[in-house]
Structure 1
Amino acid sequence: MASEEYLKAQKSGKAAYRKAIAQGEYPYLPALDEIVDSRSVRTEEPLGLVSIPLDQVVGTKTAGRQAAFASNFMPLMPDNSEFARKWEGVVKYHLDQGVGDPIVAYEYMNRFYVLEGNKRVSVLKYFHADSIEGMVTRMVPYPQDSIENQIYYEFMDFYKDSQINYLSFSKRGSFAQLTEAIGKKTGEKWTDDEKMDFRSLYNRFAEIFHAKGGESLGITAGDALLFYLSLYPYDEVRGKSTAEMKADVEKIWQDLPATGQVKTNESMVFKPSQDSGGSIFTRFFGLHKVGQLKVAFIHDRPAELSSWAYTHELGRMQLEHVFGDKIHTDAYFLKESSSDISELIESVIASGYHLIFTTSTRFLAASLKASIEHPEVKILNCSVGQPYRTLRTYFGRLFEAKFLCGMIAGAMTPNDKIGYQAPLPNYGSIADINAFALGAQMTNPRAKVYLHWSSQTDTESFQQLIERENIRVVSDSDMITPASKDRSYGLYMTGNGLMQRLATPIWNWGRFYERIIRDFLQGNWDSDREVKEKPAINYWWGISSGIIDLIMSDELPRGIETLTNIVKGQMYVDYFNPFWGQFHKQDGSIAGRKDESLTPEEIITMDYLADGVIGSIPKSWELTADAREKVELQGRITPAMTTVE
């Protein structure tokens, strides 16, 4: 029997060998000594006895035995060789009492290379065993800038706490997110029961994932599980049966590819299409035949306390004015506890609304889950760069108006200094800052933008910065909060105790909401030629669509007003992009490319400041608790960075 098993294993090995040769690949096992130069190894760490996942055993330590096995670890040596007899002996031992002796292996980048025990590994792989015991030494590479290296260093920190080595991710930050998702803290050791519970959950989920062909999605089972846990709480998932978990995976399946490396550009809708009439059929009969369309807006704070919610409420009121009794709208506001987010969205859905706008990135995960659970309801979340098929998102290219403001500020400053108040260090606001600085340098190459973050703790106030640097031209908050007495907003100039308004960027959310409602009523939700071929829908409109605009003071010098209007006109016809061509970063390096614009993804995910900006991007721990929560949401739920209030 053992000899028959060897022939079957040899046949598998020869097939793998021929396939590798046909594809121009190396047909044998890789040898770690040939892959890794000792000079690239920072240190070696003995890990002791480790349960090694067999699918992560990929080669040998030395080159001595690598040609005896195909790349799938199946044997290649003749069946009458001494090697074959020893392999068959391991088979007999395994079938009689199991392979108990640990192998000796080296771990590098969470892949294992065998020094002693290649035949034991080969036999257990042949019999589809899950793991093998081994004495392991870890070879730690030096830190590098590559994503793979950075993920590996995050894995090593995770391993210290959990001793889990069977989990892999394709994105940075995933191990920390998983730790948080299961209710642990980084640095907190896992108990044996916690390891056992998680292993059971992971095995069930991974089996479902692989059975559905998850490898074709370009993500790992770990990526998929982390996405699943971002929607369904860990304690809830642990109590689900395999059938219930399988049903959940079916629901989220079309959104799982979004957890991989997503091309944000492919999902962007930059402006509304000219034709909003829908098909001939829907123009006559309409798609929406349930009577009055019910539309809900869900905000994270009351409009009188939030300038952000206030601008969206103005958009909602515009809908009521334009559509009259064809629609019915209501506004809902989140209570104090953030745990009420899902409950609030579910209650709104239960009230019979057909279309729901959630206007805060805090609602992103709950909005996505609700979209998955209730496909009959159309939900849009106010964020940018999301790659999900189920949930549409929307935002505006505010950086266009910021560039125009920067032009005005650069021309008006009497001492080359400009103050800039920024809200959160998220990627949307960073693009706004850089666009403003580039605009200022366009009209005044000597201009310096002094940056202040309203969400940063333990720092001087914005007013203190203005007074210390004798700043006369200031870019403050973009919008006013109705209940606040402070009217410092937009771009203004100070002097002699007076404030002169120069310009104000504005959000015309009503323009966006009106178009979406019109498309929905006319049956154009899925048939719009701008969106129906896209893998996901992210509305990212700017000045050309009217969602973003700039109001300029009548007291601006005529030349400055004229120049600003010329550039604004070029933006309106999509001829000018603030991030066209090359520009310098703070550190002196070059950003951008000659004769090209930055891609939407490059703009959205900016994590640097432009030359001419005085200040820095604060770390998470330097922010207020509310700001930290919003910024951390960027990495918790979304593969691409989101923009929050």
Structure 2
Amino acid sequence: MEMTMTLREYYEDAKSKGKKEYNRLKARGKSGHLSSLDGLLKDVDIVGTVSLGNYEIPLHKIVGTYYHARRMLFSKSFFPLESDTSEFGLKWIEVCRAHLEEGIRDSIKVYEYLNFYYVMEGNKRVSVLKYFDAASVHAEIIRLIPKFDPEDEDIVNYYAFLEFFNTTKLVSIWLSKPRRYKRLLSYLEDYSPVDVKPEDKYLHFQKYVYHPFRTIYLAAGGQSLPITTGDAFLLYAKLYKIPDYLDEPQAKQIMPSLLKELTNYGEEEEELDIVTNSDDMEKSTILDALTAFIAPKKISVGFVYARNTQSSGWTYSHDLGKKYVEETFKDQITTGIIDNVPEDDTAYDVIKAFAEEGDYDVVFTTSEVFRKATLKCAIELPKIKFFSCSGNRPYVHMSNYFGRTYEPRFLAGIIAGAMTESNLIGYTATDPNSEVISSINAFALGAKLVNPKAEVLVAWTGEWNNPKKSTNISEKLIEMGADMISNKNLIVPREVTWDYGVYAMLCDINPETKLPKNYLAAPIWKWGKFYEKIITSILNGTYQRMISSSNNAQRIINFWWGLNAGVVDLYAAEELIPRDTVKLLGLMKEMIISEQYHPFTGPVYDNKGQLQIEKGVVPTPEEIMNMEWFADNVKIIIQ
């Protein structure tokens, strides 16, 4: 390396930076000297010491020295503080000369404690390398393992890191939450780069994928976010999987959009804007109205279907919504659809091609299985507004829309509880995500409201749409004594499905044939109302105002509407239901709409006897959307 200053000038510059840092910290009442590990460990119970051998470690992870006496020679960031004529100063200058002329080759020796490094031998080498902004150094590592403490979040996370290290032998990847290590390991489990031995795949991943990603991420400003590079990489891996070699041009292209998403991915994620009142979507200013009058907008809207209208009641219900807005908006919108989109990783390519070729302003993807594919498209096509039909967490580039399905499920539960004779009600469900759990609990609480003896037997299909499996599971529930079944895929009369797009039914069971006797009720969707409100807000500018915050960052929006918005409802065969039950249904529906009653009003206990909702308390939307427990009259039969 060509010297641009003399060795002594380098030292003086480094010392000047050290003095400034030292004085700045002292003025704030903080220590200006380097940290020392022997001081940190005074009250720490170390239960293990492990020699790891030689690794290349990132310099930013070296935060101190081992010995207390050595710390006085350096500022907090390892800059020197002694005179250039001192023995220390002269040795620092000689190390600087070696670094500039031939590079520092000898490994340093460090202790590792909680994934940070403290120098035992090589302090001046570290100081020189940090001054010249080197990225890493080779080090012989001795690991100090503290006693496990379940109450200490740092130690719990460190033990998760140790499990990750035991599998991968990677020391440079740090994540902020224990569950993220398990997620990264799950991604790496199937990682099998071409022409790389299985035992070398983790080092290959670190060198050719993770480190290039880190370079691009930090160059784009990632260091300003309150997350680790490992946290950031997890979102990338979730969307794009782990490639054999990082596609660096592609990573650079999407990184600005990825950073926007990552601002809400930290240790404390930003609070979501859950829009529970559809009236907020219909408000527009006089200026909005005047603008729309002077220069009326016309937008193109695309709809993505997993199946077709003949084979899926869910798809048919969304198509009814599409036809509704076509009739409502007439010449203000044009629409297009694509159906039978694969429900696997190839959906991304299909949806992206559909969105680009159709030159759409807005795209609604109508199935939960398209959530990841939709987010990838939204990041790569930021000029298109993407909406994912999902009850899960939305993102900066993609809003979610879904209904408060627990409300009509609660009403259906009232019917089941009133009409069951065995007090056993079967309920088949896809998998235990929060939206499904809240619907099960509301159904169970509705049944319990009219029948304290009613018990809801839940079985999982594990699949989004498998009629045969769903029916087989229902038969098992019937064999267990259930005389009422809420099943997603029971065959229902087409005169009902053609009207409502019904995709789930509550049935009572013929005790002799074990087949559905009557189709009593079904939660129904009125997607036309949903799409009308969202499209109206886009046309009049309300949506853009909602997603824009005062600091020009984009807010995360989740549209979550219920009975009061008319986007969900309950189909009920009133002629088959007792009159008093019909009256009660009408009363409870009106009370929910007018917010005089909430299905989850406490006290509510779970099936382990724990009080989950206090007496008189109504859970927040966030609490309902993240529900992980089951009501006390719910019994899980088939895992």
* Both structures adopt the same fold (TM-score exceeding 0.5): yes
Q: Identify which of 230, 235, 246 aligns with 1:227.
A: 235
Aligned to 1:505: 523
What one-letter code is carried by the residue in structure 1 that aligns with 2:523?
P
Change (3 A) 1:70 1:191: same
| Secondary structure class of the residue paired with 1:540 | strand
Question: Within 5 Å, which residues of 2 pair with 1:441-480?
Answer: 441-455=448-462, 461-477=472-488
Cα distance in structure 1, aligned partners of 2:108 and 2:20? 27
Give the gaps of 5 or more residues in structure 1.
619-645
| Secondary structure class of the residue paired with 2:261 | helix
CA-CA distance at 1:556 after TM superposition: 3.5
Question: Within 5 Å, which residues of 2 pair with 1:509-588?
Answer: 509-527=527-545, 535-554=555-574, 555-581=576-602, 583-588=604-609
Change (3 A) 1:68 1:438: farther
1:265·1:599 contact (CA, 8 Å) conserved in 2?
no
What one-letter code is carried by the residue in structure 2 that aligns with 1:439?
G
Which shifted more, 407-416 or 504-513? 407-416
Cα distance in structure 2, aligned partners of 1:148 and 1:549? 47
Which shifted more, 81-90 or 598-607? 81-90
Cα distance in structure 2, aligned partners of 1:373 and 1:598? 36
1:305·1:482 contact (CA, 8 Å) conserved in 2?
no
What one-letter code is carried by the residue in structure 1 that aligns with 2:223?
E
What one-letter code is carried by the residue in structure 1 that aligns with 2:438?
A
Give the gaps of 5 or more residues in structure 2.
1-5
Cα distance in structure 1, aligned partners of 2:577 and 2:35? 70
Change (3 A) 1:326 1:99: closer
2:37·2:67 contact (CA, 8 Å) conserved in 1?
yes
Map Cα deviations across residues 513-532 of structure 1 (whole Å, 9 max, x no partner): 122233334444424x6977
Cα distance in structure 2, aligned partners of 1:41 and 1:572? 59
Q: Identify which of 309, 312, 334 aligns with 2:340.
A: 334
1:264·1:601 contact (CA, 8 Å) conserved in 2?
no
Within the alignment, does 1:213 sit opposite 2:213 as a pair? Answer: no
Question: Within 5 Å, which residues of 2 pair with 1:187-336?
Answer: 195=203, 198-232=206-240, 235=243, 238-241=246-249, 245-261=251-267, 263=269, 265-273=271-279, 276=282, 278-284=284-290, 286=292, 293-336=299-342
Map Cα deviations across residues 255-295 of structure 1 (whole Å, 9 max, x no partner): 33133346464321112126736443543552896986432
CA-CA distance at 1:63 after TM superposition: 4.3
Q: Identify which of 422, 432, 435 aligns with 1:428.
A: 435
Question: Within 5 Å, which residues of 2 pair with 1:579-598?
Answer: 579-581=600-602, 583-592=604-613, 596-598=617-619
Cα distance in structure 2, aligned partners of 1:381 and 1:52? 41
CA-CA distance at 1:553 after TM superposition: 3.9
Which shifted more, 319-328 or 429-438? 319-328
Within the alignment, does 1:101 sit opposite 2:101 as a pair? Answer: no
Cα distance in structure 1, aligned partners of 2:268 and 2:293? 32
Cα distance in structure 2, aligned partners of 1:508 and 1:44? 63
Map Cα deviations across residues 356-396 of structure 1 (whole Å, 9 max, x no partner): 21112332233223333333333211123434222222111
| Secondary structure class of the residue paired with 1:331 | strand
Cα distance in structure 1, aligned partners of 2:424 and 2:119? 63
2:345·2:373 contact (CA, 8 Å) conserved in 1?
no
Change (3 A) 1:599 1:264: farther
CA-CA distance at 1:594 after TM superposition: 5.9
TM-score (norm 2): 0.82
Change (3 A) 1:83 1:392: same
What one-letter code is carried by the residue in structure 1 that aligns with 2:410?
F
Aligned to 1:638: none
| Secondary structure class of the residue paired with 1:392 | strand
| Secondary structure class of the residue paired with 1:250 | helix
What one-letter code is carried by the residue in structure 1 that aligns with 2:129?
L
Within the alignment, does 1:490 sit opposite 2:505 as a pair? Answer: yes
What one-letter code is carried by the residue in structure 1 that aligns with 2:133?
H
1:307·1:480 contact (CA, 8 Å) conserved in 2?
no
TM-score (norm 1): 0.81
Aligned to 1:614: 635
Question: Within 5 Å, which residues of 2 pair with 1:616-635?
Answer: 618=639
2:107·2:137 contact (CA, 8 Å) conserved in 1?
yes
Which shifted more, 61-70 or 570-579? 61-70
What one-letter code is carried by the residue in structure 1 that aligns with 2:509?
T
Map Cα deviations across residues 79-138 of structure 1 (whole Å, 9 max, x no partner): 665544554454444445443332332323322223333333233222322222222133
Q: Which has the higher contact order (CA 8 A, sep 6+)?
A: 1
Change (3 A) 1:488 1:596: closer
Which shifted more, 330-339 or 351-360? 330-339
Within the alignment, does 1:401 sit opposite 2:421 as a pair? Answer: no
1:288·1:523 contact (CA, 8 Å) conserved in 2?
no
2:11·2:93 contact (CA, 8 Å) conserved in 1?
yes
Which shifted more, 179-188 or 277-286? 179-188
Map Cα deviations across residues 506-555 of structure 1 (whole Å, 9 max, x no partner): 2211110122233334444424x697777122111112211122234424
Cα distance in structure 2, aligned partners of 1:597 and 1:155? 38
Q: Identify which of 110, 123, 128 aligns with 2:115.
A: 110
Change (3 A) 1:102 1:284: closer
What one-letter code is carried by the residue in structure 1 that aligns with 2:118?
Y
Cα distance in structure 1, aligned partners of 2:235 and 2:255? 10
Aligned to 2:397: 390
1:583·1:592 contact (CA, 8 Å) conserved in 2?
yes
Change (3 A) 1:287 1:196: farther
2:57·2:139 contact (CA, 8 Å) conserved in 1?
yes
Which shifted more, 296-305 or 252-261? 252-261
1:264·1:600 contact (CA, 8 Å) conserved in 2?
no
Aligned to 1:622: none
Within the alignment, does 1:12 sit opposite 2:51 as a pair? Answer: no
1:52·1:132 contact (CA, 8 Å) conserved in 2?
yes
Change (3 A) 1:23 1:406: farther
Which shifted more, 160-169 or 48-57? 160-169
Which shifted more, 477-486 or 579-588? 477-486
Cα distance in structure 1, aligned partners of 2:153 and 2:627? 17
| Secondary structure class of the residue paired with 1:137 | strand
Within the alignment, does 1:137 sit opposite 2:160 as a pair? Answer: no
Map Cα deviations across residues 27-85 of structure 1 (whole Å, 9 max, x no partner): 44444455458975554433111112111112344545444443323344566655445
Within the alignment, does 1:58 sit opposite 2:63 as a pair? Answer: yes
CA-CA distance at 1:453 after TM superposition: 0.8
Cα distance in structure 1, aligned partners of 2:519 and 2:247? 59
Cα distance in structure 2, aligned partners of 1:476 and 1:264? 36
Change (3 A) 1:168 1:515: same
How many residues align? The count is: 615
| Secondary structure class of the residue paired with 2:592 | helix
